[in-house]
Amino acid sequence: MTVEELCRAYNQVSRGHGLPAMACAALQIESLAGLSPDAAWAQFRILAPTEGWLQFQSKVVTFLEGHLTAPAEDWGSLLAAEAIDQNHRAMQLRTLSPGLLRLTIATPATTGEVLLTDEVRHLATDKALGPLCYRRYWCLDQELGAVPVFAAFQGFARSEEQ
């Protein structure tokens, strides 16, 4: 079964059971590993994210409309972040080991491997501006079935969207 066939079959079943729809899409993933927190912060700023969250050792901050706050010294090192830009590129920073981070950039693509996608929302802490929205990407494995590839942050759901 191809991804497209599975998507059609799933959507036929989902309509009758009130399940969310799935779609097909391609995704280009780039990664920079081994970045210091300062280098990761510099790269993250260059990407010009418009909405997201950042986790430092002593503070979690959120931002909207590109208003990315410069970290204060007492926040400590950058540990993790997720954001999206105006071109729907999802950015993700994760700690690899103490003092080293990986920056992953996921860009929606028109060519490449076709993947299944679905949209999910996760409850957030009171620091978030609403539920966290993600587009999940799944590939098909002959033995395991649908396997997650990437969860791309899509922004915060506003109260009227919840």
Q: Which domain holds residue 44?
A: 3-65+77-161
Is residue 116 in some structural domain? yes
CA–CA separation, 128 and 64 (whole Å): 11
Look at residue 71 and tell me if it is in a domain.
no
Residue 73 C-beta-side C-alpha neighbours within 13 Å: 0
Write the pLDDT tens digit of every residue in 5-21. 999 999 999 999 999 99
Enter the pTM of the model: 0.89
Would residue 72 count as lying in a domain? no
Among 66, 50, 72, 13, which residue's Cα sits nearest to residue 153? 50
SS3 of residue 114 by DSSP: coil
Residue 156 counted as domain residue? yes
Share of the chain above pLDDT 70, in %: 94
pLDDT in tens, 57-85: 999 999 999 999 889 999 999 999 999 99
Buried b (16+ CB within 10 A) or exposed e, 9-22: ebeeeeeeeeeeeb
Per the structure, how many domains does the chain have?
1
